[in-house]
Amino acid sequence: MSFCCICGEQGKVRHGLNICDKHYNQISFFTQETVQKKVDTYGVAYEDMVNQRLEELEKKYIMSKLKLLDIKEKLHKFI
Ligand SMILES: [Zn+2]
Task: Decide: 47 and 36 in contact? Cβ < 8 Å.
Answer: no
Each residue's pLDDT tens digit in the chain (79 positions)? 789 999 999 999 999 999 999 999 999 999 999 999 999 999 999 999 999 999 999 999 999 999 999 999 999 888 7
Angstrom distance (rounded) from CA 13 to CA 2? 7
Instruction: Calculate how far, in angstroms, residue 54's C-alpha sits from the geometric centre of ligand 1.
Output: 21
User: How many Å lie between the centroid of ligand 1 and the Cα of residue 6?
Assistant: 5
- pTM assigned to the model: 0.76
Neighbours of ion ligand 1 (CB under 5 A): 4, 6-7, 20, 23
Residue 48 CA to ligand 1 centre (angstroms): 29
The domain segmentation of the chain, as residue ranges, is: 1-29, 31-79
Helix axes 45-75, 32-42, angle to 10 degrees: 110
From the CA of 21, how far away is ligand 1's center (Å)? 7
